[in-house]
Structure 1
Amino acid sequence: MKAFYNLIPAFLAAGRVTAMPQNGVPQQAVLAASTKHTANPLGVGHFSEWSRATKKQFLVDWQNGKASEWTIVEGNEGGDLDSMTAALTWAYHLEHSSENTSHPIKAIALLQTPSHALDLRPENKVALDNSQMTPGHEDLLTMDELPEDPETLSRKLKGIVLVDHGSPLRKWSHAKIVSIFDHHKDRGTAPDAEPRVFETVASCTTLVARQMLDELEKLDQEYHMPHELLELVLSAIAIDSGGLSGKKTTQADIDVSKRILARSNWKKDDLEDVMEELDDELSKAQKDIDSLGLRDLLRRDWKGDFIDTPSPRTPTVSLGFASIPYSMDEQILKTDFAELFDWFAKHYRDGEKEKIREVVLTVRDDVRIDQDQADSLFNVVKEALENNDQGIDFQPWHRADELAPRQMVWTHKSHAGRKVIRPIVEAAVMGWE
């Protein structure tokens, strides 16, 4: 029986915040940002036009010192279809639901990934093409297109809305958190945010779309809802819920999909057929990544931030996670020398049947953290993982004896992915002295 792998490398390095590039990926894994195409045909339809016009107005207002009039709706830095769709949906709703009021809201969706990494998720490209957006992602605002660094911009904004992640990255910590929508664990961030929705569903887009529809239906006059956006919403829910037939599917995912379908151009079609077809198309695209090298596999789903520790010598640790749908053995073959050492030298998902997940831990010493500190930090995190209270039975990888100091690889057969592993690691780092 073929085993399927879900690898979750965890990488730690201590140092100042300024030591990391803006997108949070270790410099060794960053390729030069490509410029966006300028000769692409413009997208057609209201949704593309709105998105492009909003992006232009945001940049014009920033230039004119009006950043304080804007709310940024941002998904997580992994930039998957769910995160992107949830952000676009809520930004569209905020603007259109308030446009005939005395306090209209200026809102824009931000993809917390650089533009050159967007095509590393082919399912996003398919969904955006289906929604008639401009090729090359010109309608979308990405991290590398922000007019200034988030630390500075966050102090000027009216606020931010978090979708598909429950707490902001450190670089957005100075911004007011207006609302939160997340389908993961509630960590208590921004208790006064409104709306503040934490609920276990397959797709965060379900939560955003439900809130949007509830508010839309209470308006004296409904605003125009473009079919392209509705179809994008169905796409995001479909791929996260396995066409509404996956194990993570909830009644909320089904109910919201019915409500969205009834407003879309597919309203005469059967819901199950629509969602199954979307899931098949998008899942096929999602798996079309065999041509990606190791660095691109890491870049396509990199999530990282800075964690405070009690240690006076190393008060801040850079912590990064990447989820890769290949086993360690398969990834090693993608390196230049097809050897284990080359995987670590470069620094750095799922099926049914028997699913084997792999977790990699490595701690790097450099000019800001000496070897003794790095050894201590590695041991603290290693012990926390091996003695976790989540019932995860970590077993050493079959080549663990070949690993260098402060490198470890485990396998486990539980369903625990990054969303379970990451809090364990973060708690260990925050308690390290």
Structure 2
Amino acid sequence: MLRGSRLMATFTNLQQFLQTGAKAFDQANQLKRPVKLVVGNESADLDSFASSIIYAYLDAIVSTPEVSKHERLLPVVKEHEFFWRRTTAATIPVLNIPRSELALRPEHNHLIKHHLSFTPQDVCTLDELPSSITSSDISVALVDHNVLQPPLSRKFDRHVKSIVDHHEDEGKYPDAKPRTVIPAGSCTTLVLNHFRSRFSTHWDTLPPEIHSEIAKLALAPILIDTANLTSKVTPLDVVQVTELLERAGEGFDRQAFYKGLQQAKTDLSGLTVEEILRKDYKQWKSDNGIVLGVSVSTRSLAWVVKKAGGMEAFKKTLGEYAASRKLDVAVVMTTDNSGGGFRRDLLIWGVNDRTAGFAQKFEEAGKEKFKLEKWPTEQDEINESIAHVDIKAWTQASLDLSRKQVAPALRDIASSL
């Protein structure tokens, strides 16, 4: 039997891979055999969600030793067990948030419910990761970021062996293989390109059902992160989307797919302002100890302020959130296309004496690059002023420059203090 035929009989959907992989990981960990974590960034957005699962699946497939073409095909359950016994490392994708945070990401649940084979319970979060990994051979693959952050960094930083990312390269883990840190609209694009270009034989022998499910899982972040291929698009994104659409299955409607995801992602009506700040959040600590936190909302800053009950109530909530995270600088970035046109807003708060004037420094350094303009605008219908010397807010007319571009500028200022 050909290797390709054997692989086609192994997993017919991603749920089988996730469920049997989790069991194999636990067993390998207990027996101190090689294990691999595939970890997305701490915002756990669609891109980290999809790229970690796809990387874990394809990496497990391509690293599995071949079997004799004459070997008998086993029943499904035994075939799964045989697959994991043959792998070089039991592999598990990790969503880099506690399970309770998953409820703050309705776009994930929408994608899972309508397009994927598995359930939210099949996805490993920080809560399910064994608190004491005893395996003597641990490796970590980073996707959608290139520096592991707490709490995982405290235990696994020295185990990072692979990186695929599309953010600014922070220069760590120079010996990682692969170490792919290049621009793209979505990290999922780079994950697919890595495996498609290096392991085309394996890719072509995957079962059609898996191809269709991977296509839908991958299309979600690529289309969301590029606004349906209208913003921050690279040629690699276009190439991957073209192929994924061919593999998504008969009757797949790209426009309806994108619209459903976008509606789910932007529906913040059921969340509190504190939950909105937590929903898509990243944090950095500079070498000098400055802690910087950036929250991203899919509704305008004016909408968030009004939801809080006004400017004073919003400042109180943001201040409490910053205190709970022990932040020196709190940043809120927003995107919104509910009014018929796309816009970005940006608010920065240097919350203590050490970071007083931080927002002013950012404005002086980045006003031209980020095209910072007055906030609120007339259409925002906010009559209150911010009335705080260390808080500044702007509309950001550089619509293509997201957190991926703003965060390095913020970190540079933090490092200079």
TM-score, normalised by the number of residues in structure 1 = 0.74
TM-superposed deviation, 1:353: 5.8
Who is 1:323 aligned against?
296
Contact 1:71 1:108 in 2 (8 A): yes
Contact 1:159 1:178 in 2 (8 A): yes
State the SS of the aligned residue for 1:179. strand
TM-superposed deviation, 1:90: 0.6
The answer to whether 1:93 aligns with 2:87 is: no
Pick aligned residue for 1:195 from 173, 178, 193 = 178
User: Structure 2 regions of 5+ residues with no counterpart?
Assistant: 1-10, 67-85, 322-334, 377-382
* CA distance in structure 2 between the partners assigned to 1:154 and 1:321 by the alignment: 34
State the SS of the aligned residue for 2:145. coil
* Residue 172 to residue 114, structure 1, CA distance change in 2 (3 Å): closer
TM-superposed deviation, 1:57: 3.0
TM-superposed deviation, 1:141: 0.6
The answer to whether 1:206 aligns with 2:189 is: yes
* CA distance in structure 2 between the partners assigned to 1:98 and 1:241 by the alignment: 31
User: Structure 1 regions of 5+ residues with no counterpart?
Assistant: 1-43, 310-315, 365-373
Matches within 5 A, 1:287-302: 287-302=266-281
Who is 1:217 aligned against?
200
Contact 2:350 2:357 in 1 (8 A): no
Pick aligned residue for 1:345 from 293, 316, 321 = 316
Pick aligned residue for 1:118 from 102, 105, 110 = 102
Who is 2:89 aligned against?
105
* Residue 377 to residue 156, structure 1, CA distance change in 2 (3 Å): farther
Contact 2:40 2:143 in 1 (8 A): yes
Pick aligned residue for 1:277 from 243, 256, 260 = 256
* CA distance in structure 2 between the partners assigned to 1:406 and 1:296 by the alignment: 24
Matches within 5 A, 1:332-411: 332-335=305-308, 338-347=309-318, 348=321, 349-351=335-337, 355-364=342-351, 374-380=352-358, 382-388=360-366, 391-395=369-373, 397-398=375-376, 401-411=385-395
Amino acid at match of 1:330: W
Matches within 5 A, 1:196-275: 196-219=179-202, 222-224=205-207, 226=210, 227-244=212-229, 246-266=230-250, 274-275=253-254
* Residue 329 to residue 232, structure 1, CA distance change in 2 (3 Å): closer
TM-superposed deviation, 1:301: 0.4
State the SS of the aligned residue for 1:360. strand
Identity %: 24
* Higher normalized contact order (CA 8 Å, seq sep 6+, divided by chain length): 1
Task: Report the structure, 1 or 2, having the larger helix content.
Answer: 2
TM-score, normalised by the number of residues in structure 2 = 0.76
TM-superposed deviation, 1:252: 1.8
| Residues paired across the two proteins, number | 360
* CA distance in structure 2 between the partners assigned to 1:297 and 1:340 by the alignment: 16
TM-superposed deviation, 1:47: 1.0
Contact 2:24 2:90 in 1 (8 A): no
Who is 2:82 aligned against?
none
Give the root-mean-square deviation of aligned CA atoms: 3.0
* Residue 397 to residue 283, structure 1, CA distance change in 2 (3 Å): closer
